[in-house]
């Protein structure tokens, strides 16, 4: 059994975002290796929650991104993605930054693995634009800690 098979959906989601932050194409592939359709759905759900949380943190703190910075991060990060997703992700990020969610919905509705990659790139690009690398990695650690506590509480019946 590979390490990827033993990881839960939250681990895979955070690993793929970290891999994108580090521009590590091998780690991106490894984070999502051996995921069956159900696992992809779970990872996509975790990433979607992380994206919503990132946006909520941004709104609560009043932090805003600069459009040029968000697009630059997205373009840089997308080069780490599998080649057949790179252009679609860069274009989807530009559309989302302009307030047009249709490009993101179109890709996610057609290709679940593409939606996973696109959402991970979105979290990484937005986090880097808002907080820089160190700040984003801190947010990811806190998200991981919070999810772990919630799972542990649920398992213990608390």
157 within some domain = no
List b or e across 55-64, with b for residues whose CB sees 16 or more CB atoms inside 10 angstroms.
Answer: eebbeeeeee
Q: pTM of the predicted model, to two decimals?
A: 0.84
* pLDDT for the residue numbered 6: 56
Q: What is the CA radius of gyration of the chain?
A: 15
68 within some domain = yes
- Tally of domains within the chain: 1
Closest CA to 54 of 145, 130, 109, 111: 130
- Give the pLDDT means over successive 10-residue stretches in the chain (158 positions): 61 96 96 88 93 86 78 88 83 77 67 89 89 92 87 75
**In the structure encoding, which two tokens stand for residue 158, read together?**
């608390």
20 CA to centre of own chain: 8
Domain that holds residue 55: 3-152
65 within some domain = yes
64 within some domain = yes
Helices (H), the chain: 3-6, 9-21, 25-32, 37-61, 67-78, 83-97, 102-110, 112-156
* pLDDT for the residue numbered 151: 77
């Amino acid at each position: 059994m590979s390490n990827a098979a033993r990881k839960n959906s939250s681990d895979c989601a955070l690993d793929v975002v970290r891999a994108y932050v580090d521009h590590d194409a091998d780690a991106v592939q490894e984070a999502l290796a051996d995921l069956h359709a159900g696992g992809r759905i779970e990872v996509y759900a975790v990433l979607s929650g992380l994206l919503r949380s990132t946006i909520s943190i941004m709104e609560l703190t009043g932090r805003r991104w600069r459009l040029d910075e968000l697009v630059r991060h997205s373009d840089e990060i997308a080069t780490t993605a599998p080649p057949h997703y790179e252009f679609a992700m860069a274009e989807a990020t530009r559309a989302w930054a302009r307030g047009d969610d249709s490009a993101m919905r179109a890709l996610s509705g057609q290709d679940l693995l593409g939606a996973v990659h696109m959402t991970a790139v979105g979290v990484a690009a937005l986090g880097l634009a808002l907080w820089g690398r160190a700040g984003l990695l801190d947010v990811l650690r806190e998200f991981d800690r919070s999810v772990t506590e919630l799972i542990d509480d649920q398992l213990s019946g608390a």
